C-alpha cells in the first residue's frame, strides 16, 4: 500500500477517504524508455534554449513539463501568457521618491522574484498561442534575454512554452515571427503504448543527456563545420523569412536560429544523441527544408578527401552505405577532371577496382564511364579497366533487360508485334 495513504481512524470522513483515493491515483512511477520527443526536449533544455511544444489540447504537454521538472528537481513556475498584461512581462512602473532624477523603475512580478531567489527553475509559459500580439511583443525580451523589467533571471532558469495550433486554440492568434524565431519548435504527439502504460502507473523518465567530457571540443568543431559548410554553399539559407503568416509562426532560418542549431548539434554530438532526436531539433529550429539539407550534409562531412584517396588508393577506406560510397567515387572522378594527370587517372582506376571488390558493382558504373571519357590519347589503358569492363557491361545488359520487361508490361507496340510473330 502506498505511503501516501493515511491510517483510517474511526472518525474518518468521506472527504478524508477521497483524499486517500486521490493519493493512490497520483502514486505513479517512471521508467527509462526510448522516447525521441522527450529526449529532444531534455537536450534542448540542457542546451539552455527556449522550447515551444505544439500539440492539440489534452495531448499531455503540461503533464510532460510537470514530470520533467520533478525528474530534474527544478521548481516549476507556470505562467498562463494569455491572462497577463504586457506590463506583467515588461515590468510594472513604480514611482520612487524623485522620479525626475531617479527615473521610474520597472518592478518585476512576484513569480520572477521567486525564480531569482531560488536561483534555478523551469519557467513554463502555457497557452502561448492565445496571447494577443501586445503580450507576445512583451515576451520577446523575456524569452531571448531572460529579463523582466529590471530583473535578470539567473542562468539556472530554463524556459519552455506550450501552444495549441490556432485552429484548436480558444481565441487563438498566430505566433509573431520575432517570437517564433526565438524558440525550438517541437511537435508534441501521443504514443499509444506510452499512454496505456502511463495510465497503468508507469511513465517514461525524463533524463538530461549524458555529455562525454572528452568529446566537447570535437563536438563544437563539428557543429561549426557543419553549419558553416552548408551556409557557405547555400547562402540563401542564412535568412529566409516565410511569406505567409502561418509559416512565420513556426521554425524558419535566420542567423539567430542557425546559432541555436549549431548549439544543438554540439550538444547532440557530445551526448551521442540518435539521428531521430537530432532531426527533430534541427527541423524544429530552422524549418523542414533547411533542416533536411543540413542533415544530408552532415553525412558528407566525414567523407574522405578525394586527394587523400588518390594518394593511396590501395588502402582507401570507403563508406559502406551506398549513397555515401557513390558520393565518394563521384568526388574522386571530379577531382581527376579538375586536374587531369596520368598518375591521378591511374590511381582513380585502382580505387574503382577496390570499390568493386568491397561493395555493390553497380556503384562503379557511372564513375567508370565518366573516368574513361577523361583519357588522353597518350595514356595507356590500365589493366584495371579489364576488371571493370565486365561490371559495366553486365550493368548495361541488366538495364536493357529491365527496359524490355517494362516495354512488355506497358504493352509497347514493339513488344506486341514481336509476340504476334
Q: Please write the tens of the pLDDT for every residue from 238-297.
A: 999 998 777 899 999 999 999 999 999 999 999 999 999 999 999 999 999 999 999 988
Q: For residue 420, is it within any domain?
A: no
Is residue 156 domain-shared with residue 289, that is, in the same domain? no
Domain enclosing residue 380, as ranges: 306-412
Residue at a domain's end among 204, 234, 260? 204
pLDDT at 386 over 50: yes
pLDDT at 40 over 90: yes
Structure confidence at residue 390 (pLDDT): 60
Is residue 73 domain-shared with residue 160, that is, in the same domain? yes
Q: Please write the tens of the pLDDT for every residue from 14-32.
A: 898 999 999 999 888 888 8
Is residue 200 domain-shared with residue 53, that is, in the same domain? yes
The CB density around residue 398, as the number of other CB atoms within 10 Å, is 12
d(C-alpha 69, C-alpha 62), whole Å: 11
Structure confidence at residue 121 (pLDDT): 93
Structure confidence at residue 216 (pLDDT): 93
Q: Please write the tens of the pLDDT for every residue from 338-363.
A: 999 999 998 998 898 888 888 887 78
Q: For residue 8, is it within any domain?
A: no
pLDDT at 298 over 60: yes
Is residue 270 domain-shared with residue 374, that is, in the same domain? no
**Beta strand extents in 86-237 (DSSP E only):** 92-93, 106-107, 120-126, 147-148, 151-152, 156-163, 184-187, 202-204
Q: Please write the tens of the pLDDT for every residue from 132-183.
A: 888 999 899 899 889 887 789 999 999 999 988 866 655 668 889 999 999 9
Is residue 283 domain-shared with residue 186, that is, in the same domain? no
* Assigned C-alpha cell, 336: 581527376
Residue at a domain's end among 204, 227, 251? 204
pLDDT at 421 over 60: no
Is residue 121 domain-shared with residue 157, that is, in the same domain? yes
Mean pLDDT (the chain, rounded): 83
Is residue 191 domain-shared with residue 218, that is, in the same domain? no
Is residue 185 domain-shared with residue 108, that is, in the same domain? yes
Contacts within 8 Å (CB) and 24+ apart, 174-178: 174/129, 174/245, 174/246, 174/248, 174/249, 175/128, 175/129, 175/136, 175/248, 175/249, 175/250, 176/133, 176/136, 176/137, 176/248, 176/249, 177/241, 177/242, 177/248, 177/249, 177/252, 178/137, 178/140
Q: Residues 339-357, buried b or exposed e (16+ Cβ, 10 A)?
A: eeeeebbbbbbbbbbbbbe
Is residue 291 domain-shared with residue 406, that is, in the same domain? no
Query: How many structural domains are present in the chain?
Result: 3
143 touches 48 (CB < 8 A): no
Is residue 67 domain-shared with residue 197, that is, in the same domain? yes
Amino acid at each position: 500500500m502506498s505511503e501516501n495513504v493515511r491510517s483510517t481512524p474511526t472518525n474518518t470522513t468521506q472527504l478524508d477517504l477521497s483524499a486517500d483515493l486521490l493519493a493512490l491515483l497520483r502514486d505513479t512511477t517512471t521508467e527509462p524508455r526510448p522516447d525521441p520527443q522527450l529526449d529532444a526536449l531534455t537536450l534542448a533544455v540542457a542546451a539552455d534554449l527556449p522550447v515551444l511544444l505544439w500539440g492539440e489540447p489534452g495531448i499531455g504537454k503540461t503533464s510532460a513539463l510537470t514530470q520533467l521538472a520533478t525528474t530534474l528537481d527544478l521548481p516549476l513556475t507556470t505562467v498562463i501568457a494569455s491572462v497577463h498584461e504586457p506590463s506583467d512581462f515588461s515590468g510594472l512602473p513604480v514611482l520612487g521618491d524623485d522620479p525626475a532624477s531617479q527615473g521610474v523603475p520597472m518592478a518585476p512580478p512576484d513569480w520572477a522574484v521567486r525564480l531569482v531567489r531560488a536561483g534555478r527553475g523551469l519557467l513554463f509559459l502555457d497557452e502561448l498561442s492565445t496571447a494577443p500580439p501586445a503580450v507576445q511583443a512583451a515576451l520577446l525580451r523575456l524569452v531571448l534575454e531572460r529579463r523582466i523589467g529590471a530583473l535578470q533571471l539567473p542562468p539556472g532558469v530554463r524556459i519552455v512554452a506550450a501552444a495549441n495550433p490556432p485552429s484548436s486554440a480558444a481565441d487563438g492568434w498566430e505566433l509573431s515571427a520575432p517570437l517564433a524565431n526565438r524558440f525550438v519548435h517541437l511537435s508534441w504527439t501521443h504514443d499509444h503504448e506510452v499512454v496505456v502504460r502511463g495510465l497503468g502507473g508507469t511513465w517514461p523518465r525524463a533524463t538530461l543527456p549524458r555529455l562525454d567530457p572528452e568529446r566537447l571540443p570535437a563536438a563544437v568543431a563539428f557543429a561549426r563545420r557543419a553549419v558553416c559548410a552548408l551556409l557557405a554553399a547555400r547562402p540563401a539559407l542564412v535568412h529566409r523569412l516565410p511569406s505567409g503568416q502561418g509559416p512565420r509562426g513556426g521554425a524558419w532560418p535566420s542567423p539567430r536560429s542557425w546559432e541555436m542549431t549549431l548549439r544543438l548539434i554540439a550538444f547532440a554530438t557530445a551526448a551521442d544523441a540518435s539521428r531521430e532526436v537530432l532531426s527533430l531539433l534541427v527541423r524544429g529550429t530552422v524549418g523542414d527544408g533547411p533542416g533536411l539539407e543540413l542533415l544530408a550534409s552532415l553525412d558528407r562531412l566525414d567523407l574522405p578527401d578525394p586527394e587523400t584517396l588518390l594518394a593511396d588508393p590501395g588502402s582507401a577506406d570507403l563508406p559502406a552505405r551506398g549513397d555515401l560510397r557513390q558520393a565518394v567515387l563521384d568526388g574522386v572522378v571530379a577531382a581527376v577532371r579538375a586536374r587531369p594527370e596520368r598518375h591521378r587517372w591511374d590511381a582513380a582506376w585502382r580505387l574503382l577496382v577496390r570499390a568493386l571488390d568491397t561493395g555493390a558493382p553497380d556503384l562503379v558504373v557511372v564513375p567508370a564511364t565518366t573516368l574513361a571519357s577523361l583519357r588522353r590519347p597518350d595514356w595507356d589503358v590500365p589493366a584495371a579497366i579489364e576488371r571493370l569492363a565486365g561490371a559495366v557491361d553486365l550493368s548495361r545488359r541488366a538495364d536493357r533487360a529491365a527496359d524490355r520487361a517494362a516495354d512488355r508490361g506497358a504493352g509497347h507496340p514493339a513488344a506486341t508485334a514481336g509476340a504476334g510473330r
